[in-house]
Structure 1
């Protein structure tokens, strides 16, 4: 098993940010990156954007694993967000800071000056980061509405939003900020979940202040009213609280309230982590598919992507080792099915898109990653590279076993398919159909692009901009594809590629089991293995 680590949660605030917007304050967001070696920084997460604020306190915390034995270099970047695109290159940089996670946890609260570049401070801007060990997997889930709120806007109704603050160290700390509901005096906000520790410091009797305000685009929000409570009181649903505006209460004897806030749902639930599932016995079944199409070039030529160097390696094997060496820790028997696609295979030399690398369709398993490497080296001179580049057959193959696992209705198995390919997929529509169907199953697909081809079609499968759709309009249940070009990591440490392509798998695994409502599986006798059979070519 992989080494189990502690999760820490970072709370972030900034002061005295420089203003990039003309006539108003910036709309800052914080992005967190970690040094993964070789000069590569991987994004770990982002806070929400806070509008028109030069000293924001971000309500969204960022989580990461803490490894005592490793210097974990972190980079915080503050950006002024003026559009809806996820890329940050077109947003103004307000400053950044670098430190190690060890510095943060040993300082408890660490304040650093923001820098525009080395030696150039971002004005008086600072960032303050505090860490909290996540020992508690509980979350507070709430649904809140309000009635008869005061009208604050001259030409329309109020645009209300809520903020929840917990008391600690003699201060009020922001725990959650809701969305704004436009032009509505009787709003119902979206259901939300906040980590239990972050919401009340782990104590249901901790004082909680709730503020209801009228949103203004210039950042000068008007208070509608406030009230004090505790999580214990909030849980007595349906609970109603009078929203009180202190100044109005003092001025008018006839003043009653500025509206009623009603808590429809308030539950403390357990939110399971990736480690909860893995430590609960979930097996991650790793399958490999290798591209043997003609575009790779003659394996005997040094120009071929399949050419084995004097040391016996190439890009395919390096990528396989990088990803496989991490994933194999989560599979107890270390037996991995490995397939090739796009080649003519003996004895009848028919083109196959899912032939067993060991040429044993009834038992395509290889012992460990080295077993896959050995099978690949032995298969290479025995097949004829051909085409086309079809992904759907192997994706559907693994999906059949994932569907069998799903019928067990337990979080006992998850499937990860690694596809190593040199070019654009040919069966685009069939692959989209296969990926969308697989998104409803316990599986993820990792695609590593080998060589220098145009991989634009692959980027479409990695649906970071929105759900993947089939031609008929069916949407994927979740994003299960992660694509990276190998050459982006060619000069980086071997672990950098694995860290990037596997970064989304824990979230994908948890999102699937959470959607099914399945708690971590408790170990029973070993599950039946899959994929177990490759059809005859």
Structure 2
């Protein structure tokens, strides 16, 4: 992991804001390791949550005696915040039959994930929505319904792995697309100059990186494959150095995806020395590019994918009319647009695109079908944690998602309808 990425990511924390919804976690286990030949294990699962870098026990299941495939009646109920990273750890213990304490218990294994990775969205015809996560577990692989797909984690006890040559795991726990556009216009300043908004300090992330990591850390839990297409605009790009407003940051137009948030950071850092920052600041092309992909999803009649376009820009946009038109058309599609203003420019026009002060209309007077734009100036969060920025930026996304699917009369599938399965890690 790069120092820059780690520096920004480690600042993410928990909030004490009011809870909007709850998540219920139900667990069952299969294939728990039987270490004692004379008796079966007495399994119990401890749920821990990370707060300010420390793991704290939240709750625990009951102990089920002499069972390798227990189904627990205990239901974990947690406060859920879409815009936060809530880290969980499930620990499996074999409790001594003479008492329920952990002092004499055998630790069998653990697995970590985030609460966002466990959630399934549900809503009713009135537009009210909940986040529901249901677990079934095998401390062998962890599965969860995320983005309509089954995902898996291995659950390993490090001590057993060292001591036992053939050790693979301790059982199984079954848990029942974000795109980025970066402003590379000359107004950001020469990246080689420490005054530039794109300056790469060896130990301190610049504002672009801080915003990218803060928002990406949240969004990645809702992206099934953790691959993020990243684009740039306003720069001259190799090999012919023509100005482009929708080029792939990794310079691979056939596959612009980056592996995870760290992959995004690395692609951003690698491309800067190869570019010539130029202009103007046109964002309509990148909105149209993502809208074209989202429109293909509409034709499936299920719209199982919802797209979030994160635009990081330092200045006043120069194609306002085209941008308004692009947003109005995109409001009919399964997508949201997040704009983070970097630097100290006048962002008055961005506030207009947000639509909080009135309905945004195209140059021809056509209104947006629904509000899909959220604008936040980074300068308001310079002295706050990245998590505070993410909270503000992503606050409207859940309702935007719900509004789209309600408007189309599309209801979510239940987990049993999901067919695919893919490896996944926390």
Normalising by structure 2, report the TM-score. 0.61
1:275 aligns with 2:135: no
Distance 1:335 1:138 in 2: 27
Distance 2:278 2:192 in 1: 15
Residue ranges of structure 1 left out of the alignment (5+ in a row)? 1-35, 45-62, 72-100, 102-136, 140-268, 528-537
Distance 1:417 1:275 in 2: 22
In structure 2, the partner of 1:385 is 277
Distance 2:419 2:293 in 1: 19
User: Deviation per CA, 1:208-237, whole angstroms, max 9, x where unpaired?
Assistant: xxxxxxxxxxxxxxxxxxxxxxxxxxxxxx
Distance 1:270 1:467 in 2: 22
Distance 1:481 1:518 in 2: 22
1:408 aligns with 2:300: yes
1:351 aligns with 2:351: no
1:65 aligns with 2:21: yes
Distance 2:409 2:245 in 1: 35
Secondary structure (helix, strand or coil) at the match of 2:250 reads coil
Equivalences for residues 211-222 of structure 1 within 5 A = none
Distance 1:69 1:270 in 2: 33
Comparing both structures, which one devotes a greater share of its residues to strand?
1
1:440 to partner: Cα distance: 0.3
Distance 1:359 1:274 in 2: 40
Secondary structure (helix, strand or coil) at the match of 1:348 reads coil
2:231 touches 2:248 (CA, 8 Å); kept in 1?
Answer: yes
In structure 2, the partner of 1:362 is 254
1:37 to partner: Cα distance: 8.3
Query: Do the aligned partners of residues 504 and 283 (structure 1) sit closer, same or farther apart at CA in structure 2, a change above 3 Å counting?
Result: farther
Query: Do the aligned partners of residues 359 and 302 (structure 1) sit closer, same or farther apart at CA in structure 2, a change above 3 Å counting?
Result: same
1:469 touches 1:476 (CA, 8 Å); kept in 2?
Answer: yes
Secondary structure (helix, strand or coil) at the match of 2:306 reads strand
In structure 1, the partner of 2:167 is none
In structure 2, the partner of 1:316 is 208
1:424 touches 1:454 (CA, 8 Å); kept in 2?
Answer: yes
Residue ranges of structure 2 left out of the alignment (5+ in a row)? 1-11, 24-47, 52-78, 80-121, 135-143, 150-176
1:276 touches 1:520 (CA, 8 Å); kept in 2?
Answer: no
Distance 1:471 1:437 in 2: 12
In structure 1, the partner of 2:199 is 307
User: Deviation per CA, 1:176-201, whole angstroms, max 9, x where unpaired?
Assistant: xxxxxxxxxxxxxxxxxxxxxxxxxx
2:340 touches 2:377 (CA, 8 Å); kept in 1?
Answer: yes
Query: Do the aligned partners of residues 359 and 486 (structure 1) sit closer, same or farther apart at CA in structure 2, a change above 3 Å counting?
Result: same
1:524 to partner: Cα distance: 3.5
Equivalences for residues 178-193 of structure 1 within 5 A = none
Aligned match for 2:335, one of 421, 443, 463: 443
Aligned CA RMSD, in angstroms, stands at 2.9
Secondary structure (helix, strand or coil) at the match of 1:507 reads helix
Structure of higher RCO (CA pairs closer than 8 Å, 6+ residues apart): 2
Distance 2:123 2:216 in 1: 32
Normalising by structure 1, report the TM-score. 0.48
State how many pairs are aligned.
279
Secondary structure (helix, strand or coil) at the match of 1:413 reads coil
Larger radius of gyration: 1
Distance 1:138 1:282 in 2: 15
Aligned match for 1:339, one of 228, 231, 235: 231
Distance 1:420 1:411 in 2: 26
2:21 touches 2:131 (CA, 8 Å); kept in 1?
Answer: no
Query: Do the aligned partners of residues 283 and 344 (structure 1) sit closer, same or farther apart at CA in structure 2, a change above 3 Å counting?
Result: farther
1:343 touches 1:385 (CA, 8 Å); kept in 2?
Answer: yes
1:411 to partner: Cα distance: 4.2
In structure 2, the partner of 1:479 is 371
Distance 1:138 1:391 in 2: 33
1:308 to partner: Cα distance: 1.1
Distance 2:364 2:50 in 1: 48
Secondary structure (helix, strand or coil) at the match of 1:447 reads strand
Equivalences for residues 63-102 of structure 1 within 5 A = 64-65=20-21
Secondary structure (helix, strand or coil) at the match of 1:395 reads helix
1:526 to partner: Cα distance: 7.6
- Runs of 4+ in structure 1 deviating by more than 3 angstroms, as ranges, are 65-71, 269-272, 276-284, 524-527
Distance 1:513 1:289 in 2: 25
Secondary structure (helix, strand or coil) at the match of 1:337 reads strand
1:447 touches 1:482 (CA, 8 Å); kept in 2?
Answer: yes
Query: Do the aligned partners of residues 486 and 515 (structure 1) sit closer, same or farther apart at CA in structure 2, a change above 3 Å counting?
Result: same
1:515 to partner: Cα distance: 0.6
Distance 2:130 2:22 in 1: 15
1:510 aligns with 2:402: yes
Comparing both structures, which one devotes a greater share of its residues to helix?
2
